[in-house]
Structure 1
Amino acid sequence: MHHFYSVIIGTELLNGRRVDKHFTFLNQELQNRGLLHVGSLVIQDSPALIQNCFNMILQDPKSVMFCFGGIGATPDDLTRAIASEVFTGEPLALHVKAKELIVNQFGDEAYPYRINMAMLPPSSELLHNVVNHVPGFSLFNRFFFTPGFPSMAWPMVQEALDKHFLMQPKLYSTSFVVDSTENDLIEIMEALPKELNFSSLPRFVGDKRIVEIYLAHTKQALVEQWSRYFKDAALAKGKTIRDC
């Protein structure tokens, strides 16, 4: 299965001038398709930081990345050049079709700055911009680069997902609460099969410690089998089980 990452670039998100909406949108789109979102990074417009994030994601052979922001024409729009360096090892080059779209949209006002948005990594494929036709771009059907504006970016995400990634079976999940500490349940946790999607979330209710257990898999029978195992094993330890 592909490992989906999101990289959300914008100093304005970190200093509180804007509120990110991309994570929630992408996460829901992936869940709707049964796809696995394994990491999300919100970072400032820093060349070294962007490059390090891209390099990290490139090291995962199953990675697919959606990057939001930084593909415009202002000096702080760094994504295009860094993406070209990291993912192709080559400098930016003029994309003829992107140039055509930008000139058609802005006419003479495409020069001298907006036209720079047509300088893209070699081998880029374009993502359609439904708002003003200035495209996003993708590389190798794995790495997708969109503007920071949701109205432009989100249709590009949907276009890419629909075109390149098959709908996967949705996860069947269950969750329940055990009146316990996590420490008392570790032996049970260790017995769960690795293919099961599992997490434990400890909480306090007043001065009482509880653990919320989450189990998921595409096979309902597997989830039900190991949910029964977990509950029975916890009950054998004298624990109380409750629904969430």
Structure 2
Amino acid sequence: MNAVTTQAAARPTKRLPNRRPNPPMRRVEPAVPEPLSAMDFAQRMQDIGLHWWALIDGLFEQLHTDKAKAAPVPEWALDWLKDQGRHDLTHEEMRSQGEALRDLLRLQEGRPTRTVFEVWGDHATRLSIGHECVADAIPTLDSFKASGKYPQAAIVRVSRLGGAWSSDPALLDTLVGTVRLAGSSVGLPNDDDGFFSIQDETGRQLLLTPDQVAGHPALDRMSAEDRASMDAWSAHLAERKALRAAAKDGQP
């Protein structure tokens, strides 16, 4: 009995191999994030809202494709996504509220807003400019309305950085401060005579032909460099126009 016990005890115990642990994989340490400002959060919130709005809008755009016809979305689901017609309205509200929030944050930081408010009597009569908010523009609006001369006066929001433009030559009289040449277009050979983009200090732009801007007093407030460039383009465009007219007259 003892021999059996001794023999059994002499057997080596089975164990898992004593493997050396692998060292952890080295990873590049992430850069310390820069402090996020309130403006960063406002922009991120708008990006997320735009992402979800675009997903729903993209679904509506696919409704008439073959893929959508093969597996149509239930009508109740489409009605739900339209939110009683508020799908587009909420997008516009998100955009306007986001712009207003960013402007408020800029004012708190002591920086100018990206947009300003102006008072206009009609589409060609600018009455007052440079208001930082609607509340600042309301007293001016009320005074012009009370005068009886501009009963249809209204407050208009205008970008400081441009983007709002018109092709009405009557608005040349409303340009404010220094005027600059924002761009030139030579036009297509047989379609138009080219355009100039004229911009004032408020960011408003006018897209006009050389004939519409020629000789206007607002051009006197341009820099010498911009005026020289504009004169050179005007001469070039006039030459192109003359060549087209000559070619047309020579046709049988």
TM range (shorter): under 0.3
Which structure carries more strand by proportion?
1
Q: With the length of structure 2 as denominator, give the TM-score of the two structures.
A: 0.22
Which structure carries more helix by proportion?
2
* Structure with the larger RCO, 1 or 2 (CA within 8 Å, 6+ apart): 1
Q: With the length of structure 1 as denominator, give the TM-score of the two structures.
A: 0.23
Q: Which has the larger radius of gyration?
A: 2
